[in-house]
Structures are given as C-alpha cells and as structure tokens.
Structure 1
Amino acid sequence: MRSSDSDRVYLARVDHLRAAAAVLVVLYHGCQLLGARIEGRALTDAAQRQHSTNPAATLVLEGHTAVALFMVLSGFIFTVGAHGRPIRYGRFVTNRLLRVYPLYLVIAVLGLATQVALPSFEHLLAVLTFTTPGQPYGGVFWTLSVELQFYLLFPLLNRLLGERGPGALLRLLGAIALLRLLVWLSSPAPEPHTSALYLGLAGRIDQFLLGMLAAWCYLRHRERLRAGWLPPAALALALGALWGFHQLRGFMSDSPLKLVWSTLEGAVWAVFVAVYVAGARDRGGAVSRAAARLGEVSYSVYLTHFMVLTVLCEDARLVGALPSLPPVWAAFALSALVALPVTVGLSFLTYHAVELPFLRLRRPYLGSSPTGAGNATPPAARGEPGAVVRS
C-alpha cells in the first residue's frame, strides 16, 4: 500500500472510532436526560436509573464508556504520532490548548449568560479551570480537565515508553492501582465513594496509559493484528465487560469493583482500538466517508450536545410526543431522531466557524528523528501541518 493510502486508512479508522464515541455520548445523555424528563424524576435518583439485561441496550445505558474510548484514543493517537521523534514540549502544549480551549470557552461563556447575575471574577476563573458552577452545558467539562492533565504528562510518559519500553508503563499501571486502593481504604467514610477517583485523573490515567500501550503494539505488530476476526471479537469482549458492569448497577454503583473498572474498561477498548485501526483495508465507501466526516467534528458534537438536549428537555410538546412508547424507548427515539441530527448539524457549523481557524494556527511539535525510527510511522500520524487536523 502506498504511503498516502496508508495515511488515509489510518485517519479514516481513527475518525470512525471518534464518530462512534461521539454518537454514543449523545445517545447516553439523551436517554438519561430525556428519560428522566419523561418519567418526571430526578436524574440523580440512582434507584430509578434505567436498567436492562439486554447487551445492546447496555451499550447505550452505560454510554459513558465513550469517555473511556476517547481517552484511550488520546493515548493511542499521540503515541503513534510521536513514534521515534522528540517532542517539543512548549509547542505540544500550545497545540493542545488551541485544540481544546476555543470552542470550550464559547460554550462555557454562553452557559454563564444563562444566569441572571453578572459573572464574577470567581466565575471567570472557574471557566478557565473547567469548574464553572451551575453551568447548564457543562456535563462533560470535567473530561477536558482530565485530558489537559494528561497532555501535560504525555511527553514525559512517551519518553519513558521510548527509552524503557512497555514494561515501564505496566509497572506504572500497577503502582497507580495500588495507590488508588490505599486512598480508598484510608477514607473515613463507612462506605467510601469511588466517584471522585472515577471522575478524575487518578481514576482515568489507566486509560491513557493503555492507549499508549495499544499504540506500541500497533506500531510493532500491525500485520498480526489485521486478522478479520479480531475486531468483532474485541468488540464482543468490550460489550461483555460493559454488560457485566451494568448488572452491578454500573456508573451509579459505589462498589469496590469500580476501583478496577477504569483499568478493565480501558483495557478492552485499547484492544479494540489497536485491532480496528490495524484491520482490513478501508475501501473508502460512502459510509466510511460519512463516519470519518462525523469523526472530524466529534469534539464539537461532544461539547454542543448538552445545549441541544437542554432545549429539548424544556419542550413539553416534544417530551410528550411519543406517549405510546415506554419512557426509555421514547427517550432513545428522541435522542436518535432529533437530538443527534440537530447536534451534528450544529457541530459542522461550530467546527468550521470556531475550531478550524484555531487549528490552523498550530505548529509542528515533533523534532527530527536521530535514528530514523520515525520513518516507520505514517506521516499522517506524526502531527505534521494539516495531517492530523483531527487530533
């Protein structure tokens, strides 16, 4: 395969995964928010959270797993892109800020505008740190804070992987797991909560590290990972793990098993990412191109969908439009047929109007390879100008 064809396949497959994760986030939040609105209950009432023994329904009802997929992808993409080449730390961090901050600031400032009082200095400071109080569109802002913390660590972690090999990251994973257990055991609460760990870098660093390890395997064993049966098997493994997690009450549970769930969740998605990206040649059909275009605007989808869902939840006529369906099915139908198309349409606008102008300001952050090792990496994966506008 020519280098340009290899680049196209790599980018398309990465964007397919981004698109799938973005769609899953919209459906998950749509089912939760619209479902609660239809049933007239509080979203925080764990006892009434939607539950199912159907594996297909589990994927949507535990659709927060898309966050794990995004985080695994972050570790994977940056590790592939930086393979064999030094990272210029300042440029790398600047590029990440240009990627994350512009659209986030637009959404966060618009959220502040929904409040009656003028924003204080504390509110503006909270915007800069992704902790805006009472933010109506901020349901996913916490993930951006976690991502930025990983960005600050990635050049060091990548050097560790390059100089010491995957064993260094595996040992780091083990140490983090042990420290996380000690934090949980030292809690003074009779029933220690696991949410703080699950929603912060302390509970999510596993997923970035596993994405980096998946990239290491992909770069060295691409040919072995191209067997056609591997992606379906890896997806079945991920769905099976998610189904088991859901039967234990999933995200709302404070079971000690959640201490290891982040690692398990990251591991199954890391396997899937590696085998899917390395899989059979992409033929570039209409479905593949459409999925890739959606993946290109996935960040906009991720940040704007709460705005759309907030509006839909306030429309009593729309919420009551499907009275013959069970609440969970009505919420799913509204999410898939209304919220998702509106969000995607809005996202193409915000991508080209807000994101793209700042993405074009980024500069290459990779130095030259002293050994030529980077030549084994597809140019589109290296962060060269215009090559990975999506990362």
Structure 2
Amino acid sequence: MGFSVSDRSGEDAAIEGLRGLAALIVVGSHYAHLVTGAPGAWGFAATGVDLFFVLSGYVFAPYFFGRPLAWGPHLVRRFFRLYPLYLVALALYVLLKLPDPAATKYVVDHVFMAHTLRSLEIAFFYNAAFWSLPPEVEFYLLLPVIAATLRGRAFAALFVFALLMHMALIAVAQPGQGVTSSAIASVHLPGVLVEFALGACAWRIAREGGGRMLRVLLGCVALVAMCAVYTKFVAPDPKAAADAWPWISGNIGLGAALGYALVVSGVAARPNPQGWRLRLCLLAGELSYGVYLFHNALPQMRAKFGWPIEGWTAVGLCLAATLLLAWVLHHALEAPARNFGRDLSRRIAARQPA
C-alpha cells in the first residue's frame, strides 16, 4: 500500500525527497565510525535531525497561520503514523540486547517516550536515534494549542518566544553538572520549538515566490559555515566544547536549522519534479522513517554476530539492508497503519460538530 504518484503534489514530493535526504544524513553520522576512527566533520551530519524538525514545521505550518485543527483526529493520525513502526523497531533493538539480563530494563521508558528524561544511558541504550522522537511527539501535542491560540496572528511573537526560550536554556546551562533539568529541556520541545518554527517560516517564504535560488545558496553557505564551526570547536572534544563553548556547541543545531530552512523554502518553491525524479522523491520519503529507526540495528547485528565486513563494504551492506528492511516494513506495516489512522480520524471527525 501507500501513495501513488498521482496522490501527491509536486511540492509534497520535494519535501518527501528532503525527508529521505535527512535520513541519509543521519545515517552518515552514525556510520562514520565504520570508516574512520575520528568522525571530525562527519559528526555534523547529526544535524540531519534538525532538518527533520524543520520539515515537520514546514508540513504543519498552515496550522501556525490560521488553519483550524481538530485535536482528536490529529492525534489519532499522528499516533498511527509514528507508533506502530516505532514499537517494532524498539522490539528489534531489545532482541539485539539479549541475552543481557538488562535488555528489557528501559523498555517502559521508551514505550512512553520518557527515555530522554533521566540519563544519557537510558536515552541511547537501544538506539541513539530514538532521542529525537519525544520532542516530535511533544510538537504534535502542542500543535492544536498553537492552531487554536494563534489563529493566524502573532506568529512572530511565538517565534521570538521560542528563540528566547532556546537561548535561556543555553544561558542557564551548568557545565560539568551532568544531566540537569535545563539540559533535559534543551533536547525537548522547549529547546527545539524554534526549529519547528523555522520550518513554518520556510513554508511562508516559499509561498512568496522569488529568490528561491538565492535562498538555497544562502542556506548552503550557512550549513558550510556551521560545519566549519563544528569541526573547529566541537568535533575534537564534544564534552569539552559543551563546557568551554556553550554558546557555540549549544547553537550548532539552531544554526543548521536556519540553513536547512532556507534550503527547504527554495526547494519547495521549485517547479514540480516529473518522471523518475518524482518517483525517487516519493520513495525516499516513504522509506525515511524506517531508515531513521532501523539504520543503527545493522551495525549492532554486525557486532553481535561477528560478520566479517569492514570499512566501506560494511557501510554499503548495512545501508542496503536498512533500505530493504525499511521498504518491506513500509508496505507490511507503516503504510497500512497510517491509512488505518487516516480512516479512523475521518470517522471521528465526522461525528464531531462542525
């Protein structure tokens, strides 16, 4: 199942293609250790998560600018879009921990998206990529409130508030204090709401037309600049950088999100892709969530079962297996669950008063 080409607009296809690119960028950050001992600039690829945040803000931007949103149908759609495949991924990572007696130790935390509330050990115990799911869920929960409150007004005030909240968390950071309340908040919605808001800005700018190539160029320049800053200050020793340069290390993601927002606003304003490019973009989007969830499982399997593959061969085989697994599960579970959620949300909406 899934969407056919005729079900999607060209703009949707461009965003889906960027979603696939975001997944591959994150894969690059996690597979770098297979080919190099010191990731260096490769570590900047972790900002693919920030591209995901920007894209989510872009997709849901109409609700920032006045479109009404019924919270019940919205949450039903989001649940069936996110959770079924996530629970399968979590089960796989638990199996990979066996026969360790602690394999199921943090399952409850992860099921309820509470795995980033206590320690890095819990957050990264099964799959380091899982850390970004709680702020995404929190954004979905907040979105109906945003839609009902703003009603197309005061978006600038929301953006400034989100930016100040992000900066305040950096200002109160306590270097060397471990996992503090401010550190926890910084990786949840209080710290990253501004990145979702940047996605909404990209949506608004894309509709204003001109200068799309200039925006893409400026976005790429911003990303290169942030990568250079990351390589200079953060990559050599991330922990020391967080202690010595909190304003730099704490704003790498935000700077990257700004660059990505400029790129997204330019790419989304392009003419519709056609032919094989359209199909490739849609396929990339369809597989992106599965790739994001499962790509760390293959290196874990390699280590667990002692597969004799190294270097770029390991990267290629792990990526190919991840793409295959994502494709199978998209058709077997992800798309059917998403379509079921859409049908259920329509039935709920039909029973609600206008």
- What TM-score range do you get, normalising by the shorter chain? 0.7 to 0.9
Instruction: Indicate which of 210, 217, 224 corresponds to 1:232.
Output: 217
Q: 1:14-64 CA deviation, whole Å, 9 max, x = no partner?
A: 0110111111111221113x247xx5xxxxxxxxx322xxxxxx3x43110
Instruction: Report whether the alignment pairs 1:78 with 2:60.
Output: yes
Task: Answer whether contact 1:76 1:214 (CA < 8 A) is retained.
Answer: yes
Instruction: Indicate which of 69, 79, 97 corresponds to 1:87.
Output: 69
* Cα deviation, residue 291, structure 1: 3.2
Where does 1:108-127 land on structure 2 (aligned, <5 Å)? 108-113=90-95, 114-116=97-99, 123-127=106-110
Looking at structure 1, the residues matched to 325 and 104 of structure 2 have their Cα atoms a distance apart, in angstroms, of 30
Instruction: Report whether the alignment pairs 1:342 with 2:325.
Output: no
Task: Answer whether contact 2:64 2:155 (CA < 8 A) is retained.
Answer: no
Instruction: Indicate which of 181, 185, 200 corresponds to 1:212.
Output: 200
For the residue of structure 2 that corresponds to 1:297, the secondary structure is helix
Q: 1:240-263 CA deviation, whole Å, 9 max, x = no partner?
A: 222222221248231212233333
> Alpha carbons of 1:230 and 1:259: their partners in 2 closer, same or farther (altered >3 Å)?
closer
> Alpha carbons of 1:264 and 1:290: their partners in 2 closer, same or farther (altered >3 Å)?
same
* Equivalent AA in structure 1 for residue 31 of structure 2: G
Aligned residues: 328
Q: 1:61-112 CA deviation, whole Å, 9 max, x = no partner?
A: 3110100000111111011477542101122112111111101111112322
Instruction: Report whether the alignment pairs 1:293 with 2:279.
Output: no
For the residue of structure 1 that corresponds to 2:60, the secondary structure is helix
Looking at structure 2, the residues matched to 271 and 134 of structure 1 have their Cα atoms a distance apart, in angstroms, of 31
RMSD of equivalent CA atoms: 3.3
For the residue of structure 1 that corresponds to 2:127, the secondary structure is coil
Instruction: Indicate which of 268, 271, 293 corresponds to 2:262.
Output: 271
* Cα deviation, residue 11, structure 1: 1.3
Instruction: Report whether the alignment pairs 1:247 with 2:232.
Output: yes
Looking at structure 1, the residues matched to 217 and 20 of structure 2 have their Cα atoms a distance apart, in angstroms, of 18
Q: 1:198-251 CA deviation, whole Å, 9 max, x = no partner?
A: 5333322221121122223334x1x2244x443234223222222222221248
Looking at structure 1, the residues matched to 123 and 179 of structure 2 have their Cα atoms a distance apart, in angstroms, of 26
Looking at structure 2, the residues matched to 343 and 120 of structure 1 have their Cα atoms a distance apart, in angstroms, of 22
Q: 1:135-176 CA deviation, whole Å, 9 max, x = no partner?
A: 764211111111101111122223444342332223213431
For the residue of structure 2 that corresponds to 1:317, the secondary structure is coil
Looking at structure 2, the residues matched to 278 and 5 of structure 1 have their Cα atoms a distance apart, in angstroms, of 19
* Cα deviation, residue 7, structure 1: 5.3
- What is residue 81 of structure 2 aligned with on the other side? 99
Q: Which runs of 5+ in 2 are unaligned?
A: 116-120
Please, which moves more after superposition, 344-353 or 128-137? 128-137
For the residue of structure 1 that corresponds to 2:98, the secondary structure is coil
Instruction: Indicate which of 295, 317, 325 corresponds to 1:305.
Output: 295
- What is residue 166 of structure 1 aligned with on the other side? 155
* Cα deviation, residue 121, structure 1: 8.6
* Equivalent AA in structure 1 for residue 284 of structure 2: L
Please, which moves more after superposition, 210-219 or 125-134? 125-134
> Alpha carbons of 1:249 and 1:135: their partners in 2 closer, same or farther (altered >3 Å)?
closer
Task: Answer whether contact 1:149 1:201 (CA < 8 A) is retained.
Answer: yes
Looking at structure 2, the residues matched to 192 and 82 of structure 1 have their Cα atoms a distance apart, in angstroms, of 32
Task: Answer whether contact 1:21 1:69 (CA < 8 A) is retained.
Answer: yes
Looking at structure 2, the residues matched to 249 and 134 of structure 1 have their Cα atoms a distance apart, in angstroms, of 21
Task: Answer whether contact 2:14 2:273 (CA < 8 A) is retained.
Answer: no
Looking at structure 2, the residues matched to 74 and 22 of structure 1 have their Cα atoms a distance apart, in angstroms, of 13
Please, which moves more after superposition, 231-240 or 157-166? 157-166
- What is residue 22 of structure 2 aligned with on the other side? 21
- What is residue 252 of structure 2 aligned with on the other side? 261
Task: Answer whether contact 2:23 2:292 (CA < 8 A) is retained.
Answer: yes
* Equivalent AA in structure 1 for residue 233 of structure 2: L
Identity of aligned residues (%): 23
Looking at structure 2, the residues matched to 19 and 225 of structure 1 have their Cα atoms a distance apart, in angstroms, of 25
Looking at structure 2, the residues matched to 183 and 90 of structure 1 have their Cα atoms a distance apart, in angstroms, of 36
TM-score normalized with structure 1 length: 0.73
Instruction: Report whether the alignment pairs 1:199 with 2:200.
Output: no
Instruction: Report whether the alignment pairs 1:149 with 2:132.
Output: no
Looking at structure 1, the residues matched to 16 and 127 of structure 2 have their Cα atoms a distance apart, in angstroms, of 24
* Cα deviation, residue 367, structure 1: 8.0
> Alpha carbons of 1:178 and 1:70: their partners in 2 closer, same or farther (altered >3 Å)?
closer
Looking at structure 2, the residues matched to 180 and 270 of structure 1 have their Cα atoms a distance apart, in angstroms, of 22
- Flag the structure with higher helix content: 2
Please, which moves more after superposition, 229-238 or 67-76? 229-238
Q: Which runs of 5+ in 1 are unaligned?
A: 40-48, 52-57, 320-329, 369-391
